[in-house]
Amino acid sequence: MQLKTILNQVTDYKSFVFGKVTWRENSDRLELEVVIEPRANGQAICSGCEKPASGYDRAKAPRRFEFVPMWGMMVYFLYRMRRVQCVRCGVKVERVPWANGKSSMTKEYQWFLAGWARRMSWMDVSEMFHVSWSRVYESVKQAVSWGLGHRNLDGIEAIGVDEVLWKRGHQYQTVVYQLDTGCKRLLWIGKDRASKTLLHFNHLPAEDDAAFVHDQRPIRNAQDLFHFAGNEQDGDTPHDGPVRERTESNRLHFQNCLVFK
């Protein structure tokens, strides 16, 4: 089985074909370079409006895109980018299906690094796969952005609020989790741990990702009221009425459960 056959099985780049595969030796490790060419009957896509457009010209030097390593060897795609003459956007560089914008990493490699970043520290991932820490950061950022754009916030019944220390000097962030049975995930992060911080979460605009808080259902039960009780006389509480009672044990460093009923 040839390498091109494997790549065709694990990718789906319409209007493009894999070409010549060559070895390259550097001081650290072996590398594989795979040339990508556009199909003769394929049409370039404008990176601005993402619509088909006629060709304008093509770069002489190819760009290198990092793909998922195979057998301990780095794999690079080589492709000479085209520019298109778009009737809507003018002259633009084409959009390619294996990378986002000007990134030199393929989408597959970004998901690969982001998956490992869930299992170990980002520094360990960078050392294991011989990439910079910024590469791991870029991959995780892409994965988080995709997740935020595709998540479903329907049916949330219970949330948890806690503060995390992220910087020396008592610099905290407030985090909100979903704590429903079978679904536990991070929903929102706010700066500081004041009562006004959670107030911002409760007053998010309707078009925001966390629009589920606009059900206008007041918080009835909470184990820790530190985050939203605040100074009651200031009127900062994020629900209809002031908090009347505080819990006996104010566990500031435990995950706290707020249940919508």
Each residue's pLDDT tens digit, 193-203: 777 777 777 66
Cβ(160)–Cβ(179) under 8 Å? Answer: yes
pLDDT over 50 (residue 57): yes
Q: What is the pLDDT of residue 168?
A: 82
Domain residue limits, the chain: 1-99, 105-150, 158-260
Average pLDDT of the residues of the chain:
78
Tokens standing for residue 21:
């595969």
Query: Which residue shows structure tokens 């099985």?
Result: 9
Q: Which of 89, 24, 9, 18 has the alpha carbon at shortest distance from 52?
A: 89
Residue 253 clears pLDDT 80, i.e. is over it? no
Over residues 165-204, the pLDDT tens digits come to 888 888 888 888 888 888 888 888 888 877 777 777 766 6
Angle at 209 between CA 206 and CA 215, to 5 degrees: 45
